[in-house]
Amino acid sequence: MSSLKKIPTLNAQLALNRNEPLKAIEALQPAIPYVPGIMGTNTGLYPVYVRRQAYLAARERSQAAGEFQKIIDHRSLGLNPLGARAHLGLARAFVLEGDTAKAKAAYQNFLTLWKDADPDIPTLKEARLECAKLQ
């Protein structure tokens, strides 16, 4: 990943770690012209993924849902770990919107993708618990 994407992404991740999602969104602005829209590698998508996480943390649910849906809509991106986690992010965005039906469907999509994963993975455990709360 070039430094034009790396530095803003690192700053954004640090802001997220400090629970400052709006600063994370702001930090990523310089990277936008250098981030792939549809195509890219895992490292090329990382700034996009961090921006989506920042929207979710900022409770900007419609922006978060739209951003996660972009990855899901492009199947080739869904084959990498960030793409698979987009389903979980979308589910969480729907929970924030209060759309239980869409949230359940997104959680189920995530859990289906991860059905063969190690059951002790923290992300998978969290997703199962969050989905169960919707029942």
d(CA 95, CA 15): 23
Best CA proximity match to 11, nearest among 30, 39, 33:
30
Angle in degrees, 0-180, between the axes of helices 42-57 and 81-97, rounded to the nearest 10 = 10
pLDDT, tens digit only, all 135 positions of the chain:
444 456 888 899 999 999 999 899 889 887 766 555 444 444 556 777 788 889 888 888 888 887 777 777 766 654 566 677 888 988 998 998 899 999 999 999 999 988 998 999 999 999 999 999 997
Best CA proximity match to 105, nearest among 128, 131, 84, 129:
131
Burial status of residue 38 (CB atoms within 10 A of its CB: 0-12, 13-18, 19 or more):
exposed
| Domains, the chain, with CATH or none | 3-133 (1.25.40.10)
Question: Angle at Cα 78 formed by Cα 68 and Cα 117, nearest 5°?
Answer: 105
Terminal-to-terminal C-alpha distance of the chain:
41
Angle in degrees, 0-180, between the axes of helices 81-97 and 61-73, rounded to the nearest 10 = 150
